[in-house]
Every structure is written in C-alpha cells, then in structure tokens.
Structure 1
C-alpha cells in the first residue's frame, strides 16, 4: 500500500529558504509525547524559546513528520485473545472488541474495530499466537476460514493471552491497520517525531560547543521508520579524486528492538564526467561506525544518558577516512565492477531482484578511472523506481567492494 511505502525527500524537495527552525516550533512535534518533559529537562529548554536551530532542511522535516502524524495516527491497545476475532469481509482483517484504556479511541467513541495487517504484521500476529504463522498462511491461501476460526476458538479455551497491538489509524479514510505486536512491559515508545527532535536539538548544541555545522542532506521515512542524513562541515581531501564529507546518519525504527541510532557513513564528493559535482553515499557495517544507540527496552534515564556518547562521531570519521583513502590505490576498476555485478545477480533481496536486469545493465561498461567507478555506482543507487531498501543494500555492497576489495 503506497501510503505505508518508504519515501525519500531529497534536498531539491525542501522548502525554498529552509535554513532551520525555531526551538519552540520544533517542540510542537512532541507536544503529546510522554517524554516531552524529559526533553525539556535534558536540554534545559524554555518551551517558548525562539532561538533558531540553524540546520537547513529542519523546517521541511518538521512539516513532513507533522503531516504524516496527523494522517496516520498511532494507537496502542492491550487486548485479550478472548476479544479477538477474524473478519473476512472484503479483505482479511482482525477484529478487536471491548477496547478500553485508550484515550484516543475513547475520544472518538470506538470500542470495536477491524484492523488490516500491513508490512509483516499478519505473519507476526500468528507467530505470536503459538507460532501458527505458516499453518495460518496456508489456511488463508486455501480459503479455509472455518478451520482458522475453530483454531482461534480452541486457543481461547486454553490460556490467557494478552498482547499490546500497535495500530495505525488512517484518519483520511477512517481505516485501521495492524502494524505490529509490541511488548506489554518493557517497550518505550521512542518514535519518529522524538527522534527528529532529539537529533536537531543535539546537533544544535553540538554546533554551539564545537563550531561543527550540520545540514540535512535528505531523509527517508514511513509511518514507523526514519533515516536522517546530516552533512557536517568536517571534510578531508581524497587526493586526485575529491573529498570525504563526514555524514551523520540518525535512524529510528519504532518496531524493531533498536530504536534511535546515531552513526557515521561515507559521502564521497567528486566531479563527474559532465563536470557536475556528485555525492556518493555508502555505508560500512553499523557496528564499527556506531556513535550511540537507544533501544525500545531502555529506560528514559539511561536513554538520555547515552546521548553523551556523541563524542565518538569525530573518532569514527578519522577511521573512515583512513579506509576510504585507500580508493586512490585502485588499479583493477573492472574487477570491482564485476564483483558488484555478481553480488547483484546472486542477491536474494526482493527489492534487488525486481531490478536485477536494469542494475546489471548499468554495469556493462569499461571503467578506466576511480571517478568513473564512483559515477557508475551513483547511477545504480539513483536508478529510477528503485526502492529505499534496495538503495540501502547497494550502499553496503558498494562500500564493501571499494574498501574491502
């Protein structure tokens, strides 16, 4: 479904004149967050502070997330298995009854609703139901509704089974969707909005103390996922090729265990054959460039304490430069192209499989210089129609081919 697809917002999509955002405006993004007071306290803020966060792109980010949050409202409900049924009308969905203890649903007078599973939610629902996901999938595929219903009723007789379900309310079409099953005890809702606010405030105060400047290059998002790519003013020359820019990636996944993460990635800036400046974004494995991490199971106090690990960013950049600098010694350019082409041909990643022919066709070219190599890799990543997960796969693959060749 398109409204839940991961989207990319590039620099040329930003508002004209987007040179940052005021602190009091930014805080509107998390007014309803249970961690609002923690943000105020940790950063020692005044809610009415008109100080401007001078990070270009921040205003566009605020607008995109604010609009998304209004259209797709997240709702967590705790429901017993006794109050769950299957509804096959028009399309398979899960019927939740006797919903209580949710202020948002109480305000709109809803105690019963049908939720359509999205992403991997259907599989996860049945996997959490005593691991009957494969069995249930076969029953649904064969239209054996009565057998699936009987299994559900039999399970209800055996044991209490209470779970917390993450729903998405599409306020435009007034439909509900099941997004995930989350922990009932140790799940802290560090969401996209909170991630954006923490990132912009943290970088704002870093600029004030270190004079390093940041700007948002582009970002990727959907209703429960966010990646922010910040260019910094830290740059090193790669002789004969171009420059390495220190790029900070701030990412968040509201569903997976690891919520908010700061890490360094590589941006190689170079002049292409048409004399235009290009940037190639590639990624090493996160484990060696991780700056800080906050998980969904981490309490608020420890989570905010982890923000102090930000000092690792500069150390990571120095190490990345040593690795990336080795591309000046590349002699067998076509060998690297061949390696990447083979990896694409043999990839089991669904998003890569869809574009295998188009991607490998781009690589059918004789490469004589490292700059040509970078240019052709950029063409891979910016192939029209390529999904965000495929781009991410290629960023890792290209880094490995260039650095660990």
Structure 2
C-alpha cells in the first residue's frame, strides 16, 4: 500500500454517527466526472440535510476524507513508447520514466513533462509483462547481471520507438513526501474509475433507502480502507431464528479494489449466535456467494464492472434488496441443517483434514496454528464445536480479512458438506 490503512471495528452505533446527504456528497469531490450523474440518477440533493440512517457512516466518511487529503490520484493516458524502465528495485518494484506528460496537475507539480515514478502493487509486472520480460528482468536483477539489465533497457527503448499503443497509468501523488507512484496499468478504452468513494456513495445511499423501506437497522461494524482498497461490513440488526437456541444474522460486505480489474462486489457474511442456559457464543460463516437456479456455481450477491455508465450501476443496485432477502433465506436453510449436526467430533476431524490438506496461499501462514488448535481438544456437542471454531478466528491478524474470510468460507463449506 502507499498510504497507511484506516481501520474501524464496533459492535454497536449511536444515532450521531449517521450522516446527511450533503455530507455523503462531499466524498464525490475526488471523482467529479461522475458526480452530476450520481446525484441525478440516485435522486440526491447536495444542499439537503436529509439523514441517511446507516450507523457509523460518519467514521467511514472521515476516513475517506483523511486519505483523500494525503494523496492525489491521477489516471494518465500515455503511449507505451514514452514509458522507459529506469531502474529495477528489490522486490516487485521498479522506477520508470514517463515522458511527454500532459496532465496539468502533474506538470504543475513536477515543473516538467517528465515524470519519474516508482511502482507499487503489481504495476512493475504489469508494465514489463507487456513485453513478456518481467520474470527475466527479475532473474537478471537477483543474479546481479547488471549488463543484462542495461540491455533490457536498451531493448525496450529500441522496440518502443514507433509504438503508439496507449495505456492508462494509475498514478498516486503522496503529498507529504512529494513522491509519485504507479499503482496499476489498465487499458485506455472503456475502463471506468468506479473507485472507492464512488462505491461507498452507492452503498450508503442504497442501504439508507433499504432501511427506510424495510425498517431494518444497519450499521458499519468493520471497515478497512487505504489508497486503493476498501472493505466495509454493514451489519443488519434483524435476525432469523433457526431454532430455539440458534439465530442467524447477516452482514453485507462491500469490496472494491482500484488496482485489480475485478468488479465492485457485494457479498454476504453470516453470524450464527447460539444461546441456552449453559452455553452462549457465536460463529461467522461466509458462503462463496448466492446460488441461483440457472447457475450451479455461487455468484456474488451483486456486482458491477468498471465499465458502462452510472445508469447501469443504478439499475444493478436496484436488485440489492431482493437479492439480500433471497440470500438470507437460502443460507437459513443451510443453517438449519448445520444446527442438526449429530456427530460434532467427526465434523471437527473432517475440518482438521481439510485444513491439513489446504494448499491455498491465503491460508499458508495460519495453517499449522489452525490445525493444532483443532486437534487440541475433542468436542461432544454442537455448542463446544462452535466455540472451538470461533476460537480459531483469534489466530488471525485482526486486519487480515482476506485470510480470515477464506477460513470462514471453507468453514461454511465444510459444515454444510458434513452436516
């Protein structure tokens, strides 16, 4: 990442953490090209103080303003012949020179039309892979074949002389350090920057409408956001009763990665809460997605691509309320079967074997700890099994949502498979 991540966790909210439409609109200052369409299509008046009743929105908006104040994001379209490798750095980083820069903000800051920027995320590989040279360049650097690195630079300069192919370079200017970074390379065609602030605006406005119509309370119980990624969990207060001891509650997860080319996605996280006279606790499970009749594989609850128009996004987001209700009903049926587990210790052993045989990189750093924890005790009832599985979450870094949600997904699949 380029900027320090902003984190938030809360188990409740107060009414003074709501925001108004006017406050929500302010986050669109960073994406003015979409502002007019968003206000018109989502029927938002930027002068009104209509309250949007999504708890803890205030903290998320403050975090976005803080990040926006630290950097300027620029999408720079340029010819590949104007992009020169300057130096290979340790790790997956490199410095590039970009000539003939015309962006007014950049020209004013660098007082030149030559931008020197260092790569972050996968940008170095993206640029060098354009020439199928990324792995070879790393090999030369790691083995200190400096003369070959020089040859690569000369080769690219020569190969590029007549190359008028256009690419979009996603640049970040870190204001306090006055440094420039290349964070991604995209096509210069139909790619639309439906970025972090855009997706948060769409989510909060849509969920505020859902609250008014459904009388369901919604609040943000967790978010993580930096210069290029956002993860927000919107917790719903209504619960579905599975049996006299277990309830199911739902959280809507928004994810948007400005670096990757994947769609903006909404998905679901579920919380099983168990309670009787002797035991109480909870367990998170995460389905891969919604199961539709016409598609055997689970799909995102709702998603929209980084292309098309604001109107297309609006039309997609109208499906959200029905999709949420359908998803909750679908997972409720699975939860009923999970609650009827007859041999909990067999399930523990089954999950242990799943962990032992897992080869996913998302899980590698936690694999041994999780396996040892699962093998540390036997369980003779469902509550003890749930309590043990809940304790596994304490083994994960609190901000490692990728690995944690990988575990929650595998846990859900195992419980349903072994019910």
**1:343-388 deviation line (CA, Å, top 9, x unaligned):** 3333333342222222222212212222222222222223253622
Q: What does residue 390 of structure 2 align with?
A: 378
Deviation at 1:315, TM superposition (A): 1.4
Q: TM-score, normalised by structure 1?
A: 0.90
Deviation at 1:37, TM superposition (A): 1.0
**1:104-126 deviation line (CA, Å, top 9, x unaligned):** 32442453232222222222222
List runs of 5+ in structure 2 lacking aligned partners. 292-298
Partner of 1:336: helix, strand, or coil? helix
Equivalences for residues 1-400 of structure 1 within 5 A: 3=3, 8-11=7-10, 18-33=16-31, 34-88=33-87, 92-100=94-102, 102-110=103-111, 111-127=113-129, 129-143=130-144, 144=146, 145-157=149-161, 159-271=163-275, 277-278=281-282, 280-288=283-291, 290-310=300-320, 311-364=322-375, 365-385=377-397, 387-400=400-413
Whole-Å Cα distance in 2 between the matches of residues 82 and 24 of structure 1? 44
Whole-Å Cα distance in 2 between the matches of residues 222 and 334 of structure 1? 41
Whole-Å Cα distance in 2 between the matches of residues 373 and 108 of structure 1? 59
Partner of 2:48: helix, strand, or coil? coil
**1:181-202 deviation line (CA, Å, top 9, x unaligned):** 1120111111111111111111
CA contact (8 A) 1:236 1:243 kept: yes
**1:137-167 deviation line (CA, Å, top 9, x unaligned):** 2222223321221221232146333211112
Partner of 1:114: helix, strand, or coil? strand
Distance 1:20 1:244, change over 3 A: same
Deviation at 1:271, TM superposition (A): 4.6
CA contact (8 A) 2:290 2:301 kept: no
Deviation at 1:325, TM superposition (A): 1.4
CA contact (8 A) 1:188 1:296 kept: yes
CA contact (8 A) 2:13 2:55 kept: no
CA contact (8 A) 2:86 2:153 kept: no
Whole-Å Cα distance in 2 between the matches of residues 222 and 155 of structure 1? 37
Deviation at 1:228, TM superposition (A): 1.7
Whole-Å Cα distance in 1 between the matches of residues 343 and 281 of structure 2? 24
CA contact (8 A) 1:72 1:171 kept: yes
CA contact (8 A) 1:246 1:265 kept: yes
Deviation at 1:18, TM superposition (A): 4.8
**1:196-219 deviation line (CA, Å, top 9, x unaligned):** 111111111122222222111212
Deviation at 1:130, TM superposition (A): 2.9
Distance 1:119 1:340, change over 3 A: farther
Whole-Å Cα distance in 2 between the matches of residues 324 and 184 of structure 1? 46
CA contact (8 A) 1:167 1:176 kept: yes
Partner of 2:54: helix, strand, or coil? coil
Distance 1:313 1:16, change over 3 A: closer
- Tell me the number of residue pairs that the alignment of Structure 1 and Structure 2 aligns: 400
Whole-Å Cα distance in 2 between the matches of residues 338 and 115 of structure 1? 51
List runs of 5+ in structure 1 lacking aligned partners. none
RMSD: 2.6
Deviation at 1:276, TM superposition (A): 6.3
Distance 1:167 1:339, change over 3 A: farther
